[in-house]
Amino acid sequence: AAADGLGSIAIDTTQLNMSVTDPTAWATAMNNLGMVPVGLAGQQLVTDSICVPGFDPSLSMMTGITPINPMIPGMGLVPPPPPTDVPVVKEIIHCKSCTLFPPNPNLPPPSTRERPPGCKTVFVGGLPENATEEIIQEVFEQCGDITAIRKSKKNFCHIRFAEEFMVDKAIYLSGYRMRLGSSTDKKDSGRLHVDFAQARDDFYEWECKQRMLAREERHRRKMEEDRLRPPSPPAIMHYSEHEAALLAEKLKDDSKFSEAITVLLTWIERGEVNRRSANQFYSMVQSANSHVRRLMNEKAAHEQEMEQAKETFKNALTGILTQFEQIVAVFNASTRQKAWDHFSKAQRKNIDIWRKHSEELRNAHSEQLMGIRREEEMEMSDDDSADNPSKKLRVDDSALAAQAYALKEENDSLRWQLDAYRNEVELLKQEKGQLFRTEESLTKDQQLQFLQQTMQGMQQQLLSIQEELNNKKSELEQAKEEQTHTQAMLKVLQEQLKSAKELAEINGHDESQANEINVLTVALVNQDREKNSEKRSPGLKSEKEALLIGIISTFLHVHPFGANIEYLWSYMQQLDSRISANEIEMLLMRLPRMFKQEFTGVGATLEKRWKFCAFEGIKTV
């Protein structure tokens, strides 16, 4: 049967040779299938309880077809078509104003378009020309409640039903020939073609339903997440002296310690600790520290219980192993010749299996017991090599040791309380001293701050003047060295000149030659000076530095008041993003005759600026 219920009626292929127009043959076939034909009495195959309300079974239009329940999930999907190899039996449908004749069952079923989502509207074509809306409603209202009929002048109409499953019943009428009354006129007959129609109202209702289902699903998931979400931690109160006193009492209680230590940690992380509340927090931290000692005592008690449990387990395991040895001894005695011969073959087999199983269990338990003994020996060797602090605590279980420990703890708590009181007294003294401060002390502080700022500015100026003085000293030393060098060269040249003149007088040369010698000496002196200056000034390392010097010289020449190193570096970085401010400053310091550094401003506005001074040296020359 098909999923839409239309193919629940089947007929054997041998019965398809009967005449479609023969009512007797149709009645016989329907009685064999258990259906009530038109105008005949018989047992109904489908009861009224499962049919759609308002559907008239006496019309026998869809007799024997199980109606589709609209509440079934997945009704919005297109149901699978009926099997092609099993034809569907259709019958004549009589209405008050017309008669519907079924199509030839040997023909293929009429084609339909793809079903739109939420389809409630059908297209009906091939209507008779004389068909009215009343006749159309009379025929199709048997499929279900009709909400609207839109009829066209060109023998077709659109019918909108109240539910989606009613569309499947209307599609069933596709292929029927409709005849109005008993007329044989062409205008009173036509072949119906029923197909799915795409309507905006249907799609809108389907979208609303889908959104409603999505909202329900989201709500269900949210409720499930809320149910599975772990409970939120309790809210932590804000710090106050009253809450701090309650928390200190809770810290001393073992049952409330976990909750109290969480609150203490939150307060400290919030920054509630200040000079006023430091003593209270110190006492609470002290209580937490005393809980450490209690925890160590509990750990020692649990370790002692664990040792006792181990000893009990070892004793029980020894007893079990002894019983296993006895059972194995019984099996070994049974396998001896005196008793073994009196057992049957099946009994011997069972005794042998039981003996092997008992031996395996005995060996496993003996290995476990030996492992426990080896662990105890290793622990004893560790205790001999190094003292265990937990064992020391276990030894001190006498009443005297407990009293001494309690007195020590009380002494520590009293000493910590004394420190807390001292801190409170110092805090009160400081607050009292702050209250008696006058306005004169405030003005003195301001004056002191101004004097400190001016002192810092003067110190910076002094440092800059010292740097300039050092530069001048170095320049003076270089000038002295140049002067001594030139004087030595002049002496040598004068001696050479005297000797040259003497030779000229002896050889009889004229004055023009002597003048040429003087010119040559002056040129040699200038050339020597240039060489000395080139030796003193370090040469450029690469073409990149020469290019940088040219760009920096142009930039500083345009800015006669100078520029700081950050401004110069920001300009150079637009040309070369990899250059650094330190590299530019080192390059400027290597060329003191071209660039000089000056300090401008006073105090906090003190600023170092670089200026281009190469043309000043040319003007002085």
pLDDT at 51: 39
pLDDT at 39: 43
Q: Which two tokens stand for residue 180?
A: 């109005």
pLDDT band, very low/low/confident/very high, at 80 (cuts 50, 70, 90): low
The whole-angstrom separation of Cα 559 and Cα 367 is 95
Q: Which two tokens stand for residue 168?
A: 């499947």
The residue written with tokens 């030996």 in the block is 370
pLDDT at 40: 38
Pick the range with the lowest mean pLDDT from 91-100, 261-270, 387-396.
Answer: 387-396
pLDDT band, very low/low/confident/very high, at 219 (cuts 50, 70, 90): very high
pLDDT band, very low/low/confident/very high, at 387 (cuts 50, 70, 90): low
Q: Residue 261 class from Cβ within 10 Å (0-12 exposed, 13-18 middle, 19+ buried)?
A: middle
- pLDDT tens per residue, range 196-213: 999 999 999 999 999 999
Pick the range with the lowest mean pLDDT from 63-67, 101-105, 148-152, 328-332.
Answer: 63-67
Does the pLDDT of residue 591 top 90, yes or no?
no
3-state SS, residue 145: coil
pLDDT band, very low/low/confident/very high, at 593 (cuts 50, 70, 90): confident
Task: Report residue 185: phi and psi, to 5°.
Answer: -70, 145
pLDDT at 617: 64
Quick check: 612 and 557 in contact, CB under 8 A?
A: yes
Does the pLDDT of residue 570 top 70, yes or no?
yes
| Most confident stretch, 368-377, 385-394, 523-532 | 368-377
Q: Residue 129 class from Cβ within 10 Å (0-12 exposed, 13-18 middle, 19+ buried)?
A: middle
Does the pLDDT of residue 345 top 50, yes or no?
yes
Q: Which two tokens stand for residue 72?
A: 């079934």
Does the pLDDT of residue 267 top 60, yes or no?
yes
pLDDT at 9: 32
pLDDT at 239: 87
pLDDT band, very low/low/confident/very high, at 223 (cuts 50, 70, 90): very high
pLDDT greater at residue 119 or residue 510: 119
Does the pLDDT of residue 3 top 80, yes or no?
no
- pLDDT tens per residue, range 157-170: 999 999 999 999 99
List, in sequence order, every residue forming a beta bridge with 146; answer none if it has no partner: 161
The residue written with tokens 């010289």 in the block is 553
DSSP 147: E
Does the pLDDT of residue 348 top 50, yes or no?
yes
- pLDDT tens per residue, range 357-372: 888 988 888 888 888 8
335-343 long-range contacts (CB < 8 A, ≥24 apart) are none
pLDDT greater at residue 224 or residue 621: 224
Does the pLDDT of residue 174 top 70, yes or no?
yes
pLDDT band, very low/low/confident/very high, at 57 (cuts 50, 70, 90): very low
Does the pLDDT of residue 521 top 60, yes or no?
no
The whole-angstrom separation of Cα 610 and Cα 595 is 7
Pick the range with the lowest mean pLDDT from 222-226, 300-304, 412-416, 468-472.
Answer: 412-416
Q: What percent of the chain has pLDDT over 90?
A: 14
Kind and range of the H or E element at 320? helix 278-334
pLDDT at 528: 54
pLDDT band, very low/low/confident/very high, at 11 (cuts 50, 70, 90): very low
Distances (CA, A) of 191 to 96, 124, 177, 443, 545: 18, 10, 4, 111, 99
The DSSP string of 525-582 is HHHHHHHHHHHHSPPP-SHHHHHHHHHHHHHHHH-TT-B-HHHHHHHHHHH-TT--HH
- pLDDT tens per residue, range 410-441: 787 788 778 878 887 888 887 776 666 656 67
The residue written with tokens 């005995």 in the block is 362
pLDDT at 81: 52
Does the pLDDT of residue 33 top 50, yes or no?
no
pLDDT at 140: 92
3-state SS, residue 403: helix
Does the pLDDT of residue 67 top 80, yes or no?
no
pLDDT band, very low/low/confident/very high, at 256 (cuts 50, 70, 90): confident
The residue written with tokens 């605590």 in the block is 393
The whole-angstrom separation of Cα 448 and Cα 440 is 12
The whole-angstrom separation of Cα 564 and Cα 570 is 10
pLDDT greater at residue 607 or residue 36: 607
pLDDT at 258: 86
Does the pLDDT of residue 70 top 80, yes or no?
no
pLDDT band, very low/low/confident/very high, at 20 (cuts 50, 70, 90): very low
pLDDT greater at residue 617 or residue 48: 617
List, in sequence order, every residue forming a beta bridge with 100; answer none if it has no partner: 93, 178
Q: What percent of the chain has pLDDT over 70?
A: 74
Does the pLDDT of residue 537 top 60, yes or no?
no
- pLDDT tens per residue, range 81-123: 555 455 567 888 888 889 899 988 888 888 899 999 999 999 9
pLDDT at 195: 94
pLDDT at 87: 55
